[in-house]
Structure 1
């Protein structure tokens, strides 16, 4: 009986409105509109919030794991000064021995100070940095969306007619800014980041991987990956 009363508004609001006051401030139609809108909003917000909670957990774990990989692989983009010091010591030892043996030092190879990261390292770091950027962006958008939903379901003061109009204004804002579409795009972005991470993982496990298709300057992979990530985020926004 209680469930029937919740949906049978003639039983829930038995008092009829006065004639010519059917759209007054406290008319029955606004109470009915408020009840229907509240039920609809609660279901919608609960569904979206559950999806955002799952995305936040996955994005947080994925970012933590990916940060560990990036912290290790990013070292390959700069020169290893420990190895350089060892090379200088080895060269110094050879020079001392050559001097003791009165050997010409002109034939002794000098340690090269130039450094150029391997193309594989550039691609792996480019893919993983792009993946990390996507994961953090998804987490940021998810937090903003949850704040928006919390504001959407905040308590509205005033008469029933005023509350109905304010609620409709909030709902129109959700449609205007395509909040549903943006939230729906977040899993796709997270999947894209995961794919980029897996591609980089395969490349890092295959040191002999050849990039004959990408005969570009060494800085091009990082620039290409960064451009792809910015383009994806711009399309979503």
Structure 2
């Protein structure tokens, strides 16, 4: 039996077609992307998990702080019932004394207590920080979706590879990991301010 004929010019060995890259750079970038996809999956899942937890907690926490703030905000203003009681006392005195002259005392100048000012300041700052954390977490979620869209788009490896490198370098330059950690730290500060205001409120009530 003779040897098989050599392939003609322009023909391709179909048995080795699956292992052949159209562009010589595709082999390098394919190896890079196969390893980078594992880290991308972990990175995206971590960002999504952190931001979803932040948004859920922040929503409940902000509603709680807002309720306390609305209730304590009236402490910064005079109680209208006291002025009404003073007027009623004056009217009763007029009806009893008849035509005798009665000096109507001027209403006292109201000044909010230091505790009331501290309580409202702490709770308002806490609410502001909580809302800022919610906004920042929403932005991180949006950036995560855009990052996932770019790294998962279909394109030849020699095109996806350099784009992925640029995206990763941009994330490191921006400090995405540090940004998420800063949001969590700010949320802890917000909770601490609320607890501090609650402590002042409880101590002033005694």
Fold in common (TM above 0.5) = yes
Whether the aligned pair in 2 keeps the contact of 1:91 and 1:111 (CA below 8 Å) is no
1:24-77 Cα deviation digits (max 9, x unpaired): xxx211222222222210111101211111111111111011111011001111
Worse-matched range after superposition: 163-172 or 115-124:
163-172
Shift of residue 180, structure 1, vs aligned partner: 0.7
Q: TM-score, normalised on structure 2? A: 0.81
Q: TM-score, normalised on structure 1? A: 0.72
Q: Which structure is larger by alpha-carbon Rg, 1 or 2? A: 2
Instruction: Select 1:177's aligned residue among 174, 177, 189.
Output: 174
Q: Structure 1 residue 117 and structure 2 residue 116: aligned?
A: no
Q: Structure 1 residue 50 and structure 2 residue 49: aligned?
A: yes
Q: RMSD over aligned Cα, in angstroms? A: 2.2
Distance 1:166 1:98 in 2: 92
- Which structure exhibits the higher relative contact order, with contacts defined as CA atoms closer than 8 Å and separated by 6 or more residues? 2
Partner of residue 96, structure 1: 95
Distance 2:95 2:87 in 1: 12
Mark the runs of 5 or more structure 2 residues left unpaired by the alignment: 1-16
Name the count of aligned residue pairs. 188
Partner of residue 223, structure 1: none
Distance 1:67 1:165 in 2: 48
* 1:1-237 to 2 correspondences below 5 Å: 15-16=19-20, 22-23=24-25, 27-100=26-99, 102=100, 104-106=101-103, 110-112=105-107, 114-154=109-149, 155-207=152-204
